[in-house]
Structure 1
Amino acid sequence: MTNNFCSRRLALGLLAKACLGCTFWAWGSLAHADSVDLLAQFMKQARSGRAQFTQVVTSPTRPGQVARAKNSSGGFEFQRPGKFRFDYRKPFVQTLVADGQTLWLHDVDLNQVTARPQSQVLGATPAALLTSASDLQALKNDFQFTPEPDRDGLQWVRATPQSPDGQIRSVMVGLRAVPAGPELVVLDVQDSLGQRSLLTFTVFETNPLLPASTFVFKAPAGVDVIRP
């Protein structure tokens, strides 16, 4: 009995060491992955997500002017393919919902809802980059992806729209390699007019169970609905 017990303990110990070694090997491989590969892993693994965000929008300035930044914050959720929700809470309440067919923008202060077909307005945008496809290959008709030097403890990918005529000039994606899988931390967007929008995500949850109602939008009673 004693010999059998000792043999079982030894076998379990060896198995635990083997599994631990596999875990560290996988984490080490992830930590040293090329940033484009890391983005591909994020898109493959993160079928849905939820996070808090802050957004800083800086407009281009003329010589002698001081740059002015507009700050906002709120919550973000997404589910592939093609569904996402931004709930802006500060400084103004706005809701942006993509249900897979229609992009809805509800501006509470204006008491107005704008509805546009997603296929016409998303295109090569950061939202499309994050939510429209489940793998990087499917986006290569819209974006060119190049690795950038690591900085601020993150790995960076530059996504450049293939079409030079769009509103977006480039999107820098900042990712953190953690044992649970790649984590989205920053989107740094430069548009064709020189405006910069910096989105920083915190408390990021990968693959949460999101109810279907998350991506259903119904215009409140009495609100004007505009369909350009």
Structure 2
Amino acid sequence: MKKTLLTLGLAACAWAAHASGLDALESFVKNAKSGRAEFTQAVTAPAKEGQAARTKNSSGTFEFVRPNRFRFNYKKPFEQTIVADGQTLWLYDADLRQVTQRKQAQVLAQTPAALIASAPDLATLRKDFNLEAAPDANGMQWVQATPRVKEGQLNYIKVGFRGTELAALEILDGFGQKSVMTFNKMDTNASVGPEVFNFKPPQNSDVIKQ
């Protein structure tokens, strides 16, 4: 009897731990209507034969207003900007003086941005992702999101929370490249004005429409 109760107790604890990540994601998607944060990102390419894996680090700022506007400003080591204004997704590389322009609705559904800034609720996310709790790690509760469409470029996305606060993203793409983005100074439901998401291609930049 004691063994049975212990087994049930451990199972209940395991379920609670696994449920917490999904609960945190649901709470964040439902209650975080806007926000801003600083971020650092480490991108590690798979090791080649005879060579160690290489990691590139970058940092910047992130702002969003749900359901369909966000902005990533990469400041170091190179300036890049990614802006979703509700209709168009803009990618600007300052060094190349190049702007890529895409229709937002066609490219965001199965991306990390959908998980943290675009989707209005968990039901919408489940249309594009299989969502399941992942083991707690590094003091965070994790949810793994696997795209339902297998032809995409992403193998999976993991979202990490401390409590209900967005803390990290881990992304593995189809080429074996892993990207880990860590958020700091997250200010949930901050006042983020619409001008943040206004983007006009800089003068003398090449604009590529896709």
Give the structure-1-normalised TM-score.
0.82
C-alpha deviations, 1:178-219, integer Å up to 9, x for none?
xxxx10011000001111111000000000011110011011
From 137, 146, 149, the equivalent of 2:123 is 137
The residue identity in structure 2 corresponding to 1:59 is: A
From 200, 205, 209, the equivalent of 2:182 is 200
Shift of 1:141: 1.0
Q: Which runs of 5+ in 2 are unaligned?
A: 1-15
The residue identity in structure 2 corresponding to 1:155 is: Q
From 193, 196, 199, the equivalent of 1:214 is 196
Shift of 1:52: 0.2
From 191, 194, 198, the equivalent of 2:173 is 191
Shift of 1:135: 1.0
3-state secondary structure, aligned to 1:92: coil
Q: Does 1:146 align with 2:148?
A: no
Task: Name the CA distance, whole Å, in 1 between partners of 2:17 and 2:35.
Answer: 21
3-state secondary structure, aligned to 1:225: strand
The 5-angstrom pairing of residues 93-132 of structure 1 reads 93-132=79-118
3-state secondary structure, aligned to 1:141: helix
The 5-angstrom pairing of residues 55-66 of structure 1 reads 55-66=41-52
From 151, 154, 157, the equivalent of 1:171 is 157
Alpha-carbon contact 2:98-2:208 (below 8 Å) kept:
yes
From 62, 75, 78, the equivalent of 2:61 is 75
3-state secondary structure, aligned to 2:100: strand
CA RMSD of aligned residues (A): 1.6
Name which one, 1 or 2, has greater alpha-carbon Rg: 1
* Structure 1 stretches of 4+ moved >4 Å: 30-33
Alpha-carbon contact 2:62-2:70 (below 8 Å) kept:
yes
C-alpha deviations, 1:150-179, integer Å up to 9, x for none?
1111101111111111111101111011xx
Counterpart for residue 22 of structure 1? none
The residue identity in structure 2 corresponding to 1:115 is: Q
Give the structure-2-normalised TM-score.
0.89
Task: Name the CA distance, whole Å, in 2 between partners of 1:34 and 1:54.
Answer: 25
Alpha-carbon contact 2:18-2:135 (below 8 Å) kept:
no
3-state secondary structure, aligned to 2:47: coil
Shift of 1:32: 9.4
Task: Name the CA distance, whole Å, in 2 between partners of 1:42 and 1:121.
Answer: 22
- Over 3 Å counting, the alpha-carbon distance change for 1:113 and 1:140 in structure 2 is same
Task: Name the CA distance, whole Å, in 2 between partners of 1:94 and 1:35.
Answer: 31
Shift of 1:73: 0.3
Task: Name the CA distance, whole Å, in 1 between partners of 2:119 and 2:158.
Answer: 18
